[in-house]
Amino acid sequence: MIINSRFFNRSELLGFLALAVLLLLILPLSLDIFRLNLVAKYLTYAFVGIGLVLCWGYGGILSLGQGVFFGLGGYCMAMYLKLEASSVANTKIQSTPGIPDFMDWNQLTQIPLFWKPFHSFPVTVLAILLVPAFFALIIGAAMFKRRVGGVYFAIITQAIAAILTILIVGQQGYTGGINGITDLRTLHGWDIRTDHAKFILYFVEVVLLFGCIVAAQFIRLTKLGRILVAMREQEDRVRFSGYSVANFKIFAFCAAAVFAAIGGAMFTLEVGFMSPSFVGIVPSIEMVIYTAVGGRMSIFGAVWGALLVNFAKTSLSESFPQLWLFGLGALFIAVVLAFPNGLSGIWADRVQPRIDRLLASRKSKSAPGLVADGAPAE
Amino acid sequence: MLVGHQPKEFLLAVSGLTVSFDGFKAVNDLSFYVEENEIRVIIGPNGAGKTTVLDLICGKTRATSGSIQFRGQELTRLRENEIVQAGVGRKFQTPSVFEDLTVFENLEISFPRGRTVFGSLAFQRDDTVKQRVEEVAEMIFLKDKLNTYADQLSHGQKQWLEIGMLLIQDPDLLMLDEPVAGMSVSERAKTAELLNRIIKDRSVLVIEHDMKFVEDIAHKVTVLHQGQILSEGTMEHVKNDPKVIEVYLGH
């Protein structure tokens, strides 16, 4: 890894280390496996959030359909796991043994063509990355080349999320319908349902998450990252500086799709099933809310947003199941109106300066000749 | 092969250019030619179609009919970014700079390298880039502001920054839309000095209302009126043209 002072500035480095300590030490040591698995589930949304930071925060492209890519990644993984779980031995009571149970219930007698590649694990991994990227490329090219943007783009992504949900629910025999793809057992022969496996998967996920953070930070620091910011403000000036704005938007949208898909694939592994309820309009909007709460301009903010909002969701919906959605809506409105840069904005504006002042006053105490403003902070 | 080509000495050949917005012809059968290293000023009353002509050349607006040949390339068929890459630079009337980026980053984005998606991912801020950015920053009086965010700049400084961004593109044809509008007297003088320096070795197409400024720099003046050419020639010729006095200068 290329972590040096220029890759992460001081506060980003601290953010990275704080997150690493929390996710790799504090949480695994203090939580039981059930709660740790919940954290793993929350973190799958952090992947989506990182993508949204690039695409929405930096590029200004609001996608309200990230559930589509989360779902595509998740379904690719689920298809592989389902095929492995549907060995002839496991399914001998079916009228056609050796095919997934829901296909059998829907009178299918052989595995459909588009399922066949998912017999292979390497192909599945490639599909998790490439299928959503390809899908985003098509949507992006169709929209951005025609200069569809802003609210119109957001609405169209919503529509796509709705369409995909309806398609999945409607095509039961091929997709498992409203129940999704369930009863997943092993990954390449390794049982993913045990506590031990969940523990390992948690660490795999955290490592992948840090990989994605580094990748997103890398993109942010290249000239491409600056062009995204430039495009958000003055699209025409970017165009008249010789850049194809559409291509840059397509790239940001595809990158966000790939990050979301990795999260989706991990979700399937952690939770053990995939269903259309993680694809549609509501989950897609929730993903945007996590990012907005964490701070759409901050990669780390997106991770914290996913963790904290989901944590609040679990604890509040355990006690007040009816009120939770209202709470989530109110939270979103409050954040957008009062704190447009989310938690990370509050941190950068309110907390960070105090810490800096505290550090500065410590320094000035040890060197009394250099007192900045006289009064010590505490 | 040569049929239909303009003689070589014309850098830009606009012929029969027409654009109509819902039946209203903002530019009507317009033809004019700009030579290499020529400084051409377009003047005309409000609504004459001056800005629309620049929009048509740089691809912001699509022509209804007619042709724009630039070094033998047909610009009406190219996209905006391709027109820039062909060597046409455009400055807008209101300063359009990237306010969330520093002066250095603003200039760097305009540096003509790594303009594709993957090119920009691989772009390195090497010595050539740094040197060129500093050189241009000095020209546009912003050398000590390289690390300032553009939203901290004054209106005049933003105009200079945008001119600098064009300069770093090193276009063969530079199009400026009212470059001194909204500037203070001292900024105006500095801008005139800056423009006089940067218009060397390239052709320039300027829209301007400031007649003194026009007289200072123009080789040739084109007067537009209702989307058509009213008069064309040297400033002296145009000033004494009775038609021009009638619709424009006389008021």
Task: Answer whether residue B40 shows pLDDT above 70.
Answer: yes
Determine contact: B98 vs chain A, CB below 8 A: yes
Closest to A73 (Cα-Cα) out of A208, A265, A204, A256: A265
Determine contact: A247 vs chain B, CB below 8 A: yes
pLDDT of residue A133: 97
pLDDT confidence tier of residue B4, bands split at 50, 70 and 90: low
CB contact under 8 A, A236 and B92: yes
Q: Mind giving me the DSSP string for chain B?
A: --TTPPPTTEEEEEEEEEEEETTEEEEEEEEEEEETT-EEEEE-STTSSHHHHHHHHHTSS--SEEEEEETTEEGGGS-HHHHHHHTEEEE-SS----TTSBHHHHHHHHSSS--SHHHHHH----HHHHHHHHHHHHHTT-GGGTTSBGGGS-HHHHHHHHHHHHHHH--SEEEEESTTTT--HHHHHHHHHHHHHHTTTSEEEEE---HHHHHHH-SEEEEEETTEEEEEE-HHHHHT-HHHIIIIIT-
CB contact under 8 A, A242 and B98: no
Structure confidence by residue, pLDDT tens digits, A209-249:
999 999 999 999 999 999 999 999 899 999 999 999 999 99
pLDDT of residue A377: 36
Q: Over range B82-96, report the average pLDDT.
A: 91
Higher pLDDT, A377 or B31: B31
pLDDT of residue B251: 52
CB contact under 8 A, A229 and B100: yes
Q: State whether residue A186 is helix, strand or coil.
A: strand
pLDDT of residue B179: 86
Task: Answer whether residue A346 shows pLDDT above 60.
Answer: yes
CB contact under 8 A, B121 and A222: yes
Q: Quick one: what percent of chain B has pLDDT higher than 90?
A: 59
Task: Answer whether residue A285 shows pLDDT above 50.
Answer: yes
Mutate to test the interface with A, among B96, B151, B177 (most CBs of A within 10 A): B96
Task: Answer whether residue A4 shows pLDDT above 70.
Answer: no
CB contact under 8 A, B81 and A223: no
Q: How far is A3 from chain B (nearest CA, A)?
A: 17
Please tell me the least confidently modeled range out of A120-129, A274-283, A324-333.
Answer: A324-333
Q: Over range B211-215, report the average pLDDT.
A: 83
Q: Would you tell me which residues 160-179 of chain B have a C-beta closer than 8 angstroms to some C-beta of chain A?
A: 162, 165, 169
pLDDT confidence tier of residue A14, bands split at 50, 70 and 90: confident
Q: Over range B58-77, report the average pLDDT.
A: 92
Q: How far is A208 from chain B (nearest CA, A)?
A: 22
pLDDT of residue A324: 82
Q: Over range B146-158, report the average pLDDT.
A: 93
Angle at B40 between CA B37 and CA B45, to 5 degrees: 170
The shortest CB-CB distance from A241 to any of B121, B123, B165 is to B165
Structure confidence by residue, pLDDT tens digits, A67-78:
999 999 999 999
Task: Answer whether residue A375 shows pLDDT above 90.
Answer: no
pLDDT confidence tier of residue B5, bands split at 50, 70 and 90: low
Q: Quick one: what percent of chain A has pLDDT higher than 90?
A: 73
Determine contact: B85 vs chain A, CB below 8 A: yes
Please tell me the least confidently modeled range out of A155-164, A212-221, B1-10, B163-172.
Answer: B1-10
For chain B, give the mean pLDDT. Answer: 89
Higher pLDDT, A323 or A277: A277
Residues of A in contact with B105 (CB under 8 A): 226
pLDDT of residue B189: 85
pLDDT confidence tier of residue A364, bands split at 50, 70 and 90: low
Structure confidence by residue, pLDDT tens digits, A16-68:
999 999 999 999 999 999 999 999 999 999 999 999 999 999 999 999 999 99
pLDDT confidence tier of residue A315, bands split at 50, 70 and 90: confident
pLDDT of residue A5: 45
User: Do residues B220 and B42 make contact, with C-beta atoms less than 8 angstroms apart?
Assistant: no
- Specify the DSSP element, H or E, that contains A144: helix A121-144
Highest mean pLDDT among A116-125, A315-324, B32-41: A116-125
CB contact under 8 A, A219 and B98: no
Q: How far apart are the first and last CA of chain B?
A: 48
A117 Cβ contact list (under 8 Å, min separation 6): A123, A124, A127
pLDDT of residue B108: 95
Q: Would you tell me which residues 193-222 of chain A have a C-beta closer than 8 angstroms to some C-beta of chain B?
A: 219, 222
CB contact under 8 A, A224 and B85: no
pLDDT confidence tier of residue B134, bands split at 50, 70 and 90: very high
Determine contact: A339 vs chain B, CB below 8 A: no
Q: Over range A306-332, report the average pLDDT.
A: 85
Closest to A248 (Cα-Cα) out of A269, A267, A274, A229: A229
Q: How many CB pairs under 8 A join A and B?
A: 81
pLDDT of residue A67: 96
Determine contact: B101 vs chain A, CB below 8 A: yes
Q: Quick one: what percent of chain A has pLDDT higher than 70?
A: 94
Residues of B in contact with A233 (CB under 8 A): 98-100
Dihedral sign for Cα A55, A58, A61, A63, please: positive
Distance CA(B116)–CA(B122), nearest Å, equals 10
Task: Answer whether residue A373 shows pLDDT above 50.
Answer: no
Q: Would you tell me which residues 179-238 of chain B have a C-beta closer than 8 angstroms to some C-beta of chain A?
A: none
Q: State whether residue A64 is helix, strand or coil.
A: coil
Residues of B in contact with A240 (CB under 8 A): 58, 60, 80-81, 84, 89-90, 92
Mutate to test the interface with B, among A58, A221, A237 (most CBs of B within 10 A): A237
Mutate to test the interface with A, among B97, B110, B130, B158 (most CBs of A within 10 A): B110
Determine contact: B108 vs chain A, CB below 8 A: yes
Higher pLDDT, B39 or A372: B39
pLDDT of residue B1: 45
Task: Answer whether residue A370 shows pLDDT above 60.
Answer: no
Chain A residue at shortest CA distance from B81: A242
Determine contact: A238 vs chain B, CB below 8 A: yes
The shortest CB-CB distance from B109 to any of A241, A244, A247 is to A241
Task: Answer whether residue A2 shows pLDDT above 50.
Answer: no
Residues of B in contact with A244 (CB under 8 A): 79, 81, 116
Q: How far is B24 from chain A (nearest CA, A)?
A: 25
Highest mean pLDDT among A194-203, A358-367, B176-185: A194-203
Quote ipTM for the complex: 0.89
Chain A residue at shortest CA distance from B169: A241
Chain A residue at shortest CA distance from B95: A237
DSSP classification of residue A181: B
- Specify the DSSP element, H or E, that contains A191: strand A190-191
Q: Which amino acid is at B67?
A: S
pLDDT confidence tier of residue B3, bands split at 50, 70 and 90: low
Please tell me the least confidently modeled range out of A200-204, A372-376, B94-98, B130-134.
Answer: A372-376
